[in-house]
Amino acid sequence: MSDEDWTPRDGDGPETIERKLGHRELARLERVARRHEFGRPEVTELEIGSTTHRVAEVEPMDVDGVRTMTVGTIIWGVVAVALLPFLGTLEDDGRMWWMWTALAGLGLGLIGIEYCRRRRNALRMQPGRRRKTD
């Protein structure tokens, strides 16, 4: 029997397993074991026309969006500040819309942060409003 056909037994110690399989194969088996600890979602195959799609039933992430809106707003603010020294050049080249886009992103981001904050607080106060899964 070759080493490729060998399978570990209950009595085999870690040294025997590593000697027979090698450290790379042992690491691969440990990764596979960890991956399956959390389980895998149910996969359904859908046929649309001549194409088969695999769809997994997964839960949506429980994210309130405040952090995402804050990061995006900060980025738009940094872009607006970075464009300030170039206002004359932007105006001469007909690209003033760059500054207006950055300012619009900053303003809408501030509105979005407040919206997400209010939504998060409302969901915390009324946990029953969250969508329940079957």
pLDDT tens figures, 42-71: 778 888 888 888 887 777 777 889 999 999
Residue 117 inside a domain? The answer is yes
What is the per-residue pLDDT for 134? Answer: 45
Long-range pairs for 105-109: beta carbons < 8 A, 24 or more residues apart: 105/72, 105/73, 105/76, 105/79, 105/80, 106/73, 106/76, 106/77, 106/80, 109/69, 109/70, 109/72, 109/73, 109/76, 109/77
Residue whose C-alpha is closest to residue 74's, from 105, 98, 114: 105
Rounded to two decimals, the pTM is 0.55
Has residue 81 been placed in a domain? yes
Do residue 80 and residue 122 come from a single domain? yes
Among 12-21, 54-63, 80-89, the least confident range: 12-21
Which of 32, 56, 80 is the last residue in one of the domains?
Answer: 56
> Are residue 32 and residue 79 in the same domain, yes or no?
no
Does any domain span residue 61? Answer: no
Q: Is residue 134 part of a domain?
A: no
Owning domain of residue 95: 66-129
**For residues 122-131, average pLDDT:** 73
